[in-house]
Amino acid sequence: MQTADLFADPAEDRSGDIQSRMQALRIQLHQYAHQYYVQDAPTVPDAEYDRLFQELQSLEQAHPQWLTSDSPTLRVGAKPLEAFAPVRHAVPMLSIRTETDTESSGAQAFDARVRRELELSDADAPVEYVAELKFDGLAMNLRYEGGVLVQAATRGDGETGEDVTQNVRTIGQIPLKLSAPNLPDVLEVRGEVYMRRDDFDALNERQRARIAAGAKGEKTFVNPRNAAAGAVRQLDPGIAAQRPLSFFAYGAGEISPQEAVGVFGSHMELLQTLKKWGFPVAAQVDIAQGATELVAYHQRIGAMRDQLPFDIDGVVYKVNSLALQQRLGFVTREPRWAVAHKYPAQEQLTTVLSIDVQVGRTGKLTPVAKLAPVFVGGVTVTNATLHNEDEARRKDVRVGDTVIVRRAGDVIPEVVSVVLDRRQGEPAAFQMPHSCPVCGSVAVREEGEADYRCSGGLFCSAQRKQAILHFAQRRAVEVEGLGDKLVEQMVDAGIVRTLPDLYRLGLTALAVLDRMADKSAQNLLEALQKSKQTTLPRFLFGLGIRHVGEATAKALAQHFGKLDAIMDASEDHLLAVSDVGPIVAKSIRTFFDQTHNREVVEQLRACGLSWEEGEPADKAPQVLAGKTFVLTGTFPTLSRDQAKDLLEAAGAKVAGSVSKKTSYVVAGTDAGSKLDKARELGVAVLDEAAMLEMLASNQ
């Protein structure tokens, strides 16, 4: 069967052969389930599986005569791996119904069904539920006999799972022995093995390092669920022990003797008891009275979903009373008393239409996949980041590919992986450009960095706003009153394209801007005029040369004395500066090798910007070299910047926090926690006068 036919809308099935369509869906769903549960290598997002599953369910309901005993809708999971011993569950690990209506009406519909089954009227009290998180991990059954963990088994197909005891023993959150009083002889605790997001990220970092080092057979993982399942199914427990797994308990299986079950009147009592016995239970479990509180819980958890340290794809509602659960019973193999209420899918399938390269405000070049529109994470997505050249190559995303796209909350959508079995032919691999696609300047990738960056910061239109704001900030040339909103307006209105345009502004040009009164315009023009008198270090810092901060700019100015000498210096000459290493030297050289950057500098000079220049400073050792100072409080005659300049000119380092390595703290009035820290550590404390005396005595 052709792929196009398999994924066609059944209403548009050209053959009209519904029975064949149902068989095709069964085959495809079995394949996806095998990849997901057995191979731990999913090729499509959950939303795609759910869509096909629901289509098959609808067809079977409409045509029950064609329902077969091997239908995925009659099964809970997948067959166990042959590599592990089979475990037949004493109490089946059944699945619960999924409510795919992600709106409030999904919770309301479940409550309405429960009330209808219980024959409750509007006058009756609300049904009490337990609301829980729907974890995205691997379901697990833990069997304790005499309080000792004797077996851990996966869900498998619901009737028979896999014995993974040795691997589960490596999970620190799972107790190996229970010491609570009055324990049942047999206790089966059910829950989810999962991997935290930070642990998952750290694991993939280690995997990438191994791959880079030439390790064979290593791979990175698609998502935390995939990584957790793969760890549990490691044949070597030593390898499993290296994978950071976690566990949450959410229910029970067999409890013996049967009388022991009577101690629990509700599901919440069961969870609280499991917590007392030493099992981790998610803090977000809550009681909900009726549909209104179910809706509130769904909305509250949805709002915090992206801040949780682990993945969830929905919440679960369970009738709290165990007596009512028994009364409600099951339909087919699903309990009537529980439902999983999903959130909008965070992963979906779509097609890559093209791959563009965008230039950010700081010059970073980012490959971006242009996508066929797809609804994911609650919005329609048409672009997804590929992050950088290494990521684009690692994922091997090509134009025409079918890809899994993920969007979580406000996070920028990203391509997770390519569905390789849907690739048509051999499309060309992505190649990162080595020049800026906006201005044509050289794009540089420095050693040890993942990103390419445009070197034309003063010229590139993509970086205009950032370049102007950096140039005008207090520590650079300082144009008082020139902030984000005003720069945004001037650039968007087209009256400022490069830095020299600032100094060509007049009242007429400024009058077109919103809320720019004559007085405000005049103040800005005066601030621009004042900023023309600056210093060489401030001007250098204001140019925004990558890696050239305030300290480096001061070191360059002191070493060379003149801007032209810096602009013409070779990398070797630049390396002679105390604060300049190979990366910084190359960055400076690359910046001034761009003709348009030099032109901007010359135009700024022509607009009247000036500073004192002189001969290179003496190379005598600086008297405060090796000393670290921290400034705190308000000084009588000096600003913090002035004090910092004096200390750095004498070779001192000025730090922002106090530590054992601090030589002196210079404290003014209203000194706060830094002064307290200095006294606590026994660091010498100076006032402004003592600092000036020290500087004078060392001249």
Q: Report the alpha-carbon angle 378-382-385, nearest 5.
A: 95
CA 129/CA 446 separation, integer angstroms: 57
CB 651 within 8 A of CB 617: no
Cα–Cα separations (whole angstroms), residue 285 to 105, 267, 346, 537? 21, 11, 23, 58
- Give the whole-angstrom CA distance, residue 51 versus residue 8: 12
Query: Which H/E stretch holds residue 334?
Result: strand 334-335
DSSP string, 537-599: HHHHHHTT-TT--HHHHHHHHHHH-SHHHHHH--HHHHTTSTT--HHHHHHHHHHHHSHHHHH
Query: Residue 397 is which amino acid?
Result: V
Give me the torsion for CA of 518, 524, 527, 531, rounded to 10°. -140
Instruction: Report whether 503 contacts 609 (CB < 8 A).
Output: yes
Q: Quick one: which of 281, 135, 271, 278 has its CA closest to 194?
A: 135
CA separation for the pair 316, 285 (Å, rounded): 10
- Name the burial class of residue 682, with classes exposed (0-12), middle (13-18) and buried (19+) by CB atoms within 10 angstroms of its CB: exposed
| Residues 392/432, Cβ–Cβ less than 8 Å | yes
Q: How many CA atoms lie less than 13 Å away from 21 in the CB half-sphere?
A: 23
Which residue of the set 79, 134, 364, 660 is catalytic?
A: 134
- Which residues, listed in sequence order, are joined to residue 255 by a DSSP beta bridge? 187
3-state secondary structure at position 288: strand
What's the first-to-final CA gap in the chain, in angstroms?
88
- Give the closest residue to 298 by CA, choosing from 422, 536, 535, 134: 134
- State the residue for tokens 């601090």: 662
Q: Are strands 97-99 and 628-632 parallel, antiparallel or unpaired?
A: unpaired
Would you call 392 exposed, middle or buried from its count of C-beta atoms within 10 A (0-12, 13-18, 19+)? buried
Q: What is the dihedral of CA 201, 202, 207, 213, to 10 degrees?
A: 130
- State whether the Cα torsion 202-204-206-208 is positive or negative: negative
Answer yes or no: are the C-beta atoms of 494 and 505 closer than 8 Å. Answer: no
CA 449/CA 283 separation, integer angstroms: 40
E strands within 18-95?
Answer: 86-88
Could you confirm whether 342 is annotated as catalytic?
no
What lies within 8 Å, CB to CB, of 685 at 6+ separation is 664, 665, 666, 667, 675, 678, 679
Closest CA to 217 of 226, 207, 225, 231: 207
Partners of residue 366 on adjacent β-strands: 358
Q: How far apart are CA 385 and CA 370, in angstroms?
A: 9
Alpha helices in 423-516 (DSSP H): 464-472, 484-492, 499-502, 507-510
Can you tell me which residue has the tokens 């500073």? 611
What does 624-679 look like in DSSP terms, one character per residue?
Answer: TTT-EEEEESB-SS--HHHHHHHHHHTT-EEESS--TT--EEEE-BT--HHHHHHH
Q: Which residues does 252 contact at the CB level (< 8 Å), separation at least 6?
A: 187, 188, 189, 190, 270, 274
Answer whether 663's CB lies under 8 Å from 628's CB.
yes
Name the residues annotated as catalytic: 134
